[in-house]
Amino acid sequence: MPATPVDFDPAEVFDLFAMREVDSGNFDSVVVSAAGSDLRCVFLWGKDCYNCNLFKNTALLLQDRIKALDLSWYQADVYQDQPLGRRFGLHGVPAFVFFRSGQRLGRISGWPGWPQFSGAIGRLQAQNAEKSG
């Protein structure tokens, strides 16, 4: 596992991937009900969460690959917004919840690593291509 750099700023990942901050008050209007057929990934995390920081560090290292997934990103600190964490029945973070066209498609719990994460995204994109084609 890569170590988290000493000078690592977690907010850098939010800026790099243009992750819009959401909370329990605006989640439905911003993520679920908003127009668009893009694949939306909501990164649910917590401050000082080791595995959350591991994802953020990996995202910085693999930024070109992650950007190539063509996801619309959102993020929420569920340590600060516990009702949002309860909404998704979280038992830990990080968690990644996926939506498209108002439909919840699935969730990845924990940071499984790049191969598993990109594979899951590929399957979601393939399902959409089958429905569209």
Question: What is the DSSP code (8-state) at residue 108?
Answer: E
State the architecture of 11-132 in CATH terms. Answer: 3-Layer(aba) Sandwich (3.40)
The domains of the chain are located at 11-132
Residue carrying the six token digits 């968690």 = 95
pTM comes to 0.90
| pLDDT value of residue 9 | 74
Question: What is the DSSP code (8-state) at residue 19?
Answer: P
Please, where are the H alpha helices in 1-113?
11-16, 27, 50-61, 63-68, 82-87
Query: In order along the chain (133 residues), what is the average pLDDT of each group of 10 residues?
Result: 55 94 97 91 95 94 95 97 96 96 95 96 86 65
| pLDDT value of residue 86 | 96
